[in-house]
């Protein structure tokens, strides 16, 4: 174990990465080392090495096709769903390499929740959307499930809107409500990490604002990795920001820094051009 | 200007042709239905449904025939539904759409669907009646029908499951749910409307079947006492009255009317159930 794995004793004194000095203060929960992902002959991204701090928000930004979303799906092995998809390198999660073949993938996905760009509630009732995954992971007690349903819906600010119609179809909710339900569904499983793949991009500005506030409010309890096209959003909520870019047809990591440094004193020309809107 | 006139003419011709064709089809259907209703309504009564046939079917009712038909259909469904569900799940969820195995199974099913029913009848007679020793029985008839409707049930179920959005599968996988739970708690319920359509089509096909049943479930018009008894299906009864029994025409009409009404009822109830289920889980 390297020193980076040691829990950090210094209390966290800031949000938004404003006062975060380098070296990093928080414990590293995820360490991606030289991760490369290929779909058949095509390389989506190459040699990405990225540490992710515990209980913070890490934003991945960059132009379309630079492998941000693909990188997210490596972190909970959703890449397994695609037969031709091959991931190499190592991703340490809590010290264990989750790319090993004999990892308990179902449990990994419980601990590392993924929220998709397009809200995707299951074609069930609002309540069942929350209870079905919980039952799957061994929570059977109805009273306990009901308490859980209420508490996670409160967490995402949906409780007052749906308390009277928990048994109506989840697909009847508005887009923003559906997305918050999806977040509630993921946090009901008490994960350590939430991966968010452009969670606001399919929503109207008002719903998007509501969802963003909810994400920001979860920062102290979960390690959040968010892919976003919206630089202002990354700047508002992320503690650290990473820029991915396409080079030689495959994505790679350009710069990774506390959000404030990333935006105020970028080290790479490409980053500077990107945040000024000259590129990407 | 001539061109404009020709274009108007062309539109008119197309309109008249399509309308004529559509009206012709509707007329044939209404005529057929009216003929059956007019010919059969006089004989139709509660006693017709509850009495046994007398005088080779010229008099009396069709109670044993209804019971036999229901039993044959029940055997057919009990045998075919689980088999086709399992096959459809395998084809839709565990084999790639363009894989060799899937292609071979699908092609065989398509061939099977095109086989004339009389061939199924002969196969049923040779295999179920003789080889398995079930004789002329409701069991043989039902199992033969099951073979016949399998392709239909499997393909509709498979199509229904394939047409579901991959979002559901990804969402369930990302929540760490097993494939079994995903299939039985999420995908099958969502595909239920197409399962019901497949079921209606199969029941329709099975209850309209005559040729495959003459050789397998037989001719006997007595009330069956078990599945090993021979039983006369409703279509066989109609055929028999119409062809072999002089003076049986009226009862043949009445029996046909019962069959058509039963199919209409099954059809509407099933689609009503399907709609209700759909509204409960998905709002479009």
Let me know whether B14 and B92 are in one domain.
no
CATH of the domain at B59: 1.10.3720.10
Closest CA to A254 of A65, A89, A61, A69: A61
Domain limits at B11? 2-40
Contact B281 A182 (CB under 8 A): no
Q: Pairing state of beta strands B53-54 and A250-258? A: unpaired
Closest CA to A90 of A75, A73, A109, A72: A75
Assign A14 a pLDDT band (cuts: 50, 70, 90): very low
Please compute the mean of the pLDDT values over residues A6-34 and round it to a whole number.
59
In whole angstroms, what is the distance from residue B104 CA to residue B206 CA? 25
Question: Residue B84 is encoded by which pair of tokens?
Answer: 């086709």
Contacts of A76 in chain B (CB under 8 A): 174
Which residue in chain A is spatially nearest to B96 when comparing CA positions?
Answer: A83
Contact A116 B174 (CB under 8 A): yes
Which residue in chain A is spatially nearest to B187 when comparing CA positions?
Answer: A123
Mean pLDDT (chain A, rounded):
87
In whole angstroms, what is the distance from residue B29 CA to residue B36 CA? 11
The SS3 of residue B53 is strand
pLDDT of residue A128: 94
Give the orientation angle of helix A175-188 with respect to helix A142-155, to 10 degrees: 130
Let me know whether B36 and B57 are in one domain.
no
In whole angstroms, what is the distance from residue B278 CA to residue B164 CA? 13
Let me know whether B116 and B251 are in one domain.
yes
Question: Residue B181 is encoded by which pair of tokens?
Answer: 């739970």
pLDDT of residue B57: 86
Let me know whether B14 and B56 are in one domain.
no
Let me know whether B30 and B107 are in one domain.
no
Quote the distance between the C-alpha of residue B129 and its chain's center. 23
- Cis previous bond, A23, omega within 30: yes
Scanning A30-89 for CB atoms below 8 A from B yields 76, 78, 81, 83
- CATH 3.50.50.60 is held by the domain A3-7+26-275: no
Contacts of A121 in chain B (CB under 8 A): 171
- Range with the poorest average pLDDT among A24-33, A145-154, B45-54, B193-202: A24-33
Let me know whether B78 and B146 are in one domain.
yes
Q: Which residue has the higher pLDDT, B165 or A14?
A: B165
Query: What are the pLDDT digits (tens) for A189-211?
Result: 999 999 999 998 888 888 888 88
| Distances in whole angstroms, Cα of residue A250 to Cα of each of A247, A255, A257 | 5, 16, 21
The SS3 of residue B134 is coil
Contacts of B172 in chain A (CB under 8 A): 122, 133
Assign A262 a pLDDT band (cuts: 50, 70, 90): very high
Domain-wise residue ranges, chain A? 3-7+26-275
* pLDDT tens sequence for chain B (284 residues): 577 888 899 999 999 999 999 999 999 999 999 999 999 999 889 999 999 999 888 888 899 999 999 999 999 999 999 999 999 999 999 988 788 998 999 999 999 999 999 999 999 999 999 999 999 999 999 999 999 999 999 999 999 999 998 999 999 999 999 999 999 999 998 898 888 888 888 998 898 888 899 889 988 889 999 999 999 999 999 999 999 989 889 999 999 999 999 988 988 888 888 787 777 665 44
Domains in chain B, number:
2
Which residue in chain A is spatially nearest to B179 when comparing CA positions?
Answer: A106
Let me know whether B69 and B30 are in one domain.
no
Contacts of A114 in chain B (CB under 8 A): 174
Let me know whether B147 and B272 are in one domain.
yes
Closest CA to B117 of B253, B195, B216: B216
Contacts of B187 in chain A (CB under 8 A): none
pLDDT of residue A25: 62
In whole angstroms, what is the distance from residue B98 CA to residue B114 CA? 22
Contact B282 A171 (CB under 8 A): yes
pLDDT of residue B273: 81
Disruptive mutation site among B99, B176, B177, B192 for chain A (greatest number of A CBs within 10 Å): B176
Q: Pairing state of beta strands A42-53 and A112-115? A: unpaired
Scanning B170-229 for CB atoms below 8 A from A yields 170-178, 181, 185-186, 189-190
Please compute the mean of the pLDDT values over residues A31-58 and round it to a whole number.
93
Assign A109 a pLDDT band (cuts: 50, 70, 90): very high
The SS3 of residue B260 is helix
Let me know whether B8 and B125 are in one domain.
no
User: What interface predicted TM-score (ipTM) does this complex get?
Assistant: 0.84
Closest-CA distance, A177 to chain B, in angstroms, reads: 15
Strand pairing partners for A86? A38
Let me know whether B35 and B173 are in one domain.
no
Contact B177 A125 (CB under 8 A): no
Disruptive mutation site among A72, A121, A123 for chain B (greatest number of B CBs within 10 Å): A123
Let me know whether B34 and B121 are in one domain.
no
Let me know whether B100 and B165 are in one domain.
yes
pLDDT of residue B234: 93
pTM of the model: 0.81
pLDDT of residue A60: 95
């Amino acid at each position: 174990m390297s020193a980076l794995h040691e829990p950090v004793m210094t209390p966290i004194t800031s949000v938004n990465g404003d006062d975060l000095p380098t070296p990093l203060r928080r414990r590293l929960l995820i360490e991606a080392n030289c991760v490369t992902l290929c779909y058949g002959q095509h390389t989506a991204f190459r040699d990405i090495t990225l540490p992710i701090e515990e209980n913070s928000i890490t934003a991945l930004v960059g132009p379309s096709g630079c492998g941000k979303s693909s990188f997210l799906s490596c972190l909970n092995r959703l890449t397994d769903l695609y037969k031709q998809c091959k991931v190499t390198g190592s991703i340490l999660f809590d010290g264990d390499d989750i790319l090993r073949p004999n990892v308990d993938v179902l449990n990994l996905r419980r601990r590392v929740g993924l929220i998709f760009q397009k809200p995707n509630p299951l074609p069930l009732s609002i309540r069942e959307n929350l209870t079905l995954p919980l039952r799957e992971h061994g929570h059977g007690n109805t009273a306990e499930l009901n308490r859980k349903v209420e508490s996670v819906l409160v967490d995402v600010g949906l409780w007052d809107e749906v308390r009277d119609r928990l048994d109506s179809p989840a697909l009847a909710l508005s887009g923003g409500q559906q997305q918050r339900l999806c977040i509630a569904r993921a946090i009901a499983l008490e994960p350590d990490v939430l991966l968010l793949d452009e969670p606001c991009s399919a929503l109207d500005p008002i719903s998007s604002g509501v969802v963003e506030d909810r994400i920001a409010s979860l920062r102290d309890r979960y390690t959040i990795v968010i892919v976003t096209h919206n630089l202002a959003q990354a700047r508002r909520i992320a503690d650290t920001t990473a820029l991915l870019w396409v080079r030689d047809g495959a994505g790679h990591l350009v710069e990774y820094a506390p959000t404030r440094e990333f935006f105020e004193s970028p080290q790479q020309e490409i980053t500077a051009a990107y945040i000024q809107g000259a590129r990407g | 200007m001539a061109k404009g006139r020709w274009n108007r003419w062309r539109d008119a011709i197309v309109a008249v042709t399509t309308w004529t064709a559509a009206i012709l089809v509707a007329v044939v259907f209404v005529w057929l239905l009216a003929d059956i209703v007019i010919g059969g309504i006089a004989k139709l009564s509660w006693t017709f449904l509850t009495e046994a046939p007398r005088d080779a079917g010229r008099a009396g009712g069709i109670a044993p025939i209804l019971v036999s038909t229901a039993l044959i259909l029940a055997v057919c469904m009990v045998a075919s539904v689980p088999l086709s569900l399992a096959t459809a799940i395998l084809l839709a969820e565990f084999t790639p759409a363009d894989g060799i195995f899937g292609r071979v199974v699908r092609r065989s099913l398509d061939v099977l669907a095109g086989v004339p029913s009389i061939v199924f009848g002969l196969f049923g007679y040779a295999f179920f009646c003789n080889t398995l020793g079930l004789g002329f029985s409701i069991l043989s008839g039902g199992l033969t029908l099951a073979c016949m409707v399998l392709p239909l049930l499997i393909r509709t179920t498979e199509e229904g499951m394939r047409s579901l959005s991959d979002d559901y599968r990804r969402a369930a996988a990302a929540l760490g749910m097993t494939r079994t739970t995903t299939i039985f708690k999420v995908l099958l319920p969502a595909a239920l409307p197409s399962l019901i359509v497949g079921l209606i089509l199969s029941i329709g096909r099975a209850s309209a079947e005559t040729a495959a049943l003459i050789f397998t479930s037989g001719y006997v018009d007595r009330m069956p006492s078990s599945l090993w008894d021979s039983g006369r299906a409703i279509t066989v009864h109609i055929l028999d009255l119409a062809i072999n029994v002089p003076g049986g025409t009226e009862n043949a009409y009445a029996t046909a009317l019962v069959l058509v009404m039963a199919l209409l009822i099954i059809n509407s109830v099933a689609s009503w159930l399907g709609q209700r289920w759909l509204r409960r889980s998905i709002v479009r």
